[in-house]
Amino acid sequence: MRLLINGAAGRMGINVINSAKKSGYFDYIVGIDKYAKNKKFEIPVYCSTSDIDTKEKFDCIIDFSTKEALYDILPYALKTKTPIVIATTGFDEKDEKYIKEASKSIPIFKSGNMSIGVNTLISVVEQVSKAIGSISDIEIIEQHHNQKIDSPSGTALMLAKAVEDNTEISNVTNGREGIVGKRPQKELGIHSVRGGSIIGKHEVLFILDKEVLTFKHEAEDRAIFANGSIEAALFLSKEKPGLYNMRDIIK
């Protein structure tokens, strides 16, 4: 297979390059990164999609970049009819609408977290929310390195949606400050910690009267996200146009 990696010079991009090589499924790997000009890579890396030869064809694109890069890489994917794995987070409503519309023309795999473990955690949170969400105060705590630019994390938002879809939560609060009064019963709290080199930690607390259930996932290596994106690329290469996520792989 022939693979194009967007965001190749970033931390995750480098991990995806390594995972793609180790997988043995790709005999041709190319990267894109606007910061690539003064860096050395083991693969060809272009600064923009406009630098890629129009004769080049790829079986899949993996995007681990920034939300702003969406409007460079997705038009390229549409123009070349190339399936794309979008592993970037921080998209707003306009971006999400654009991605959904594009999925009518090409296969798109999108997930705020490419880890099998995290997506299993989300399934567990859904079940527990159904069972005891109505009698619990529910809080989400996420921790990441000090270079992460979006908050809350995409994974925290996925966990929050798992709670919201299975409870009567009516208000989501990102952190608390000052005299905010008593905690509303139908509130979901999300708290973000940023520091050091933390790869990613997520906790969901179901707090009842005199007992607490805590569900936690901790990423020990960025390779888990890179490996997940490779699995997504292999999955997507066999699919028709549509919008897919990690649950489709788990199924």
Same domain, 187 and 236: no
Query: What count of other Cβ atoms lies within 10 Å of the Cβ of residue 208?
Result: 11
pLDDT mean values, one per 10 residues, the chain (251 residues):
94 93 95 83 90 92 93 96 94 95 98 89 96 97 94 93 95 88 92 96 97 96 93 94 91 75
CATH of the domain at 176: 3.30.360.10
Per-residue pLDDT at 11 = 87
Same domain, 232 and 245: yes
Same domain, 121 and 207: yes
Q: Is omega for the bond preceding 44 within 30 degrees of 0, making it cis?
A: no
Per-residue pLDDT at 37 = 76
Same domain, 142 and 156: yes
Same domain, 57 and 23: yes
Query: What count of other Cβ atoms lies within 10 Å of the Cβ of residue 250?
Result: 10
Catalytically active residues, by annotation? 144, 148
Same domain, 123 and 79: no
Same domain, 202 and 98: no
| Per-residue b or e along 24-59, where b marks 16 or more CB atoms closer than 10 Å to that residue's CB | eebeebbbbbeebeeeebeeebbeebeebeeeeebb
Same domain, 46 and 101: yes
CATH of the domain at 42: 3.40.50.720
Instruction: Please report the DSSP string for 169-209 in residue order.
Output: --EEEES--S---SPPTTEEEEEEEE-TT---EEEEEEEET
Structural domain total, the chain: 2
Per-residue pLDDT at 39 = 76
What residues contact residue 192 under an 8 Å CB cut-off, 6+ apart? 142, 143, 144, 151, 152, 153, 156, 174, 175
The boundaries of the domain holding residue 36 are 2-114+222-250
Which residue(s) pair with 208 in the sheet? Answer: 211
| pTM, 2 dp | 0.79
Same domain, 107 and 13: yes
Question: How far is the C-alpha of 133 from the C-alpha of 218, rounded, in Å?
Answer: 23
Same domain, 109 and 228: yes
Question: How far is the C-alpha of 234 from the C-alpha of 232, rounded, in Å?
Answer: 5
